[in-house]
Amino acid sequence: MDSLVRFHDQHPQEEAGSLCEELLEGLTATPKCTSPKFFYDRRGSELFDAICEQPEYYPTRTEQAILRAAAADIAEVVGRDATLIELGSGASRKVRLLLEAMHPACYLGVDISRDFLLESTRRLAVDYPWLEVHAACADFTRPMAWPEGLAGERPVAFFPGSSIGNFTPEEAEGFLKGLARLLPAGGGLLVGVDLIKDRAILDAAYNDAAGVTAAFNLNLLQRLRHEFEAEVEPQGFRHRAFYNESASRIEMHLVSLYDQAIRVAGERVEFDAGESLHTESSYKYSIAGFRELAGRAGFEPRAHWTDRDSLFCIHYLERVV
Ligand code: AVI
């Protein structure tokens, strides 16, 4: 085993069959939809990283700038010696901006992608030799328990990137309620949330000029071909993303360019010309709106940090019992 990282394997059993069922359920629904989780095969994850580098896609660099500028302040509010738990830790890049200032008793990275998780937590352990590093391979969107043997008494979850925006508000509330159950009174949540703003900024962020977001969206069809025996021509679809103001969300769609039938896992799925497959929603919140949602889930707002242009917000919420 690894001497630098304590690894906890909580990965659910192979679920290819149920993934396929879930996919077909969405493809045969009206209107057609798929969960954003289907974006993230290897290529999809690379394309998402590339999206974060696009000049129009402000969330990543804005959140990083807030973390950099507010790290000392955040540490003061959150306190030292917490058990810092990063949900969907991926490359564990953003948490680096907090570690020195927060000096947690231990760090736990939680991610579903085992190899990626091990690689990035190992790097963290090398770069921060004073830090006790744990890694849990788990699907944190499902009920889970913190692994045994974590140092520190006050768990603080870190959920950056506005990933919470890819849940519907009802799902987000359910997710936060589940998280609240895992936190004792005084435990906390540091969460990055994209703010409601001028639609031109939002529309541009999801329609970058280099076409990376379009490639990310269309890559879903390639994944269906490789992993779900789909017969589908990606050239038969186009990327569409727009801000739906009444629902406070960006919607991403793949729009069929003509009448066509595709096949997924042996099932025939028909598209009319112009019909769309809704592939992702990215909800945006006001500061007050997100606080209300978190309040319904058992959290109380303690502090928040935003950028000068009010593009993005990091909330610190405490578990109240
Ligand atoms: C991962 N998530 C927060 C991104 C977002 O902005 O909703 C995914 C994304 N989709 C298109 N661009 C980025």
Helix (H, G, I), strand (E, B) or coil at 120: helix
What is the DSSP annotation of 14-35?
--HHHHHHHHHHHHTSSSEE--
Does residue 2 surpass a pLDDT of 70? no
Give the separation between CA 117 and CA 51, rounded to whole angstroms: 21
Answer yes or no: is the C-beta of 206 below 6 A from any ligand 1 atom.
yes
Answer yes or no: is the C-beta of 282 below 6 A from any ligand 1 atom.
yes
Does residue 16 surpass a pLDDT of 90? no
Does residue 92 surpass a pLDDT of 90? no
Which of 166, 219, 313 for a ligand 1 pocket mutation test, highest count of atoms within 8 Å of Cβ?
Answer: 166
pLDDT in tens, 117-152: 999 999 999 999 999 999 999 989 888 999 999 999
Mean of the pLDDT values across residues 259-287?
Answer: 97
pLDDT in tens, 164-206: 999 999 999 999 999 999 999 999 999 999 999 999 999 999 9
Give the separation between CA 179 and CA 142, rounded to whole angstroms: 10
Residue 189: which of 92, 82, 263, 284 has the closest Cα? 82
* Protein residue closest via CA to atom 6 of ligand 1: 282
Determine the atom of ligand 1 nearest the C-alpha atom of 161: 3
Please work out, in degrees rounded to the nearest 5, the angle formed at the alpha carbon of residue 159 by the alpha carbons of 32 and 104: 165
Tokens representing residue 241 in the block? 């993303």
* Protein residue closest via CA to atom 9 of ligand 1: 48
User: Residue 70: enclosing H or E segment and its boundaries?
Assistant: helix 58-78
Instruction: Quote the pLDDT of residue 179.
Output: 97
pTM tops 0.85? yes
Question: pLDDT: is 81 or 202 the higher one?
Answer: 202
The set of long-range contacts for 207-211, using a CB threshold of 8 Å and a minimum separation of 24, is 207/56, 207/239, 207/241, 208/51, 208/54, 208/55, 208/56, 208/57, 209/56, 210/54
Tokens representing residue 302 in the block? 């303690």
Tokens representing residue 188 in the block? 């906390």
HEC sequence for 295-314: HHCCEEEEEEEECCCCCEEE
Determine the atom of ligand 1 nearest the C-alpha atom of 163: 3
Does residue 107 surpass a pLDDT of 70? yes
Instruction: Quote the pLDDT of residue 14.
Output: 56
User: Residue 106: enclosing H or E segment and its boundaries?
Assistant: strand 106-111
Instruction: Quote the pLDDT of residue 310.
Output: 98
Sorting pLDDT into bands at 50, 70 and 90, what band is 15? low
What residues are paired with 9 via a beta bridge?
A: 137
Residue 126: which of 233, 2, 36 has the closest Cα? 2
Cis ω before 169 (30° cut-off from 0):
no
The burial class, CB within 10 Å (0-12 / 13-18 / 19+), for 219 is buried
Give the separation between CA 260 and CA 271, rounded to whole angstroms: 5
Question: Measuring CA to CA, how many Å separate 166 from each of 74, 110, 141, 280?
Answer: 25, 18, 12, 7
Sorting pLDDT into bands at 50, 70 and 90, what band is 53? very high
Helix (H, G, I), strand (E, B) or coil at 269: strand
Question: Measuring CA to CA, how many Å separate 47 from each of 65, 93, 202, 292?
Answer: 22, 17, 19, 33
Determine the atom of ligand 1 nearest the C-alpha atom of 216: 11
pLDDT in tens, 149-158: 999 989 999 9
- The owner of tokens 């990310």 is 216
Instruction: Quote the pLDDT of residue 289.
Output: 98
Determine the atom of ligand 1 nearest the C-alpha atom of 52: 13
Answer yes or no: is the C-beta of 88 below 6 A from any ligand 1 atom.
no
Helix (H, G, I), strand (E, B) or coil at 294: helix
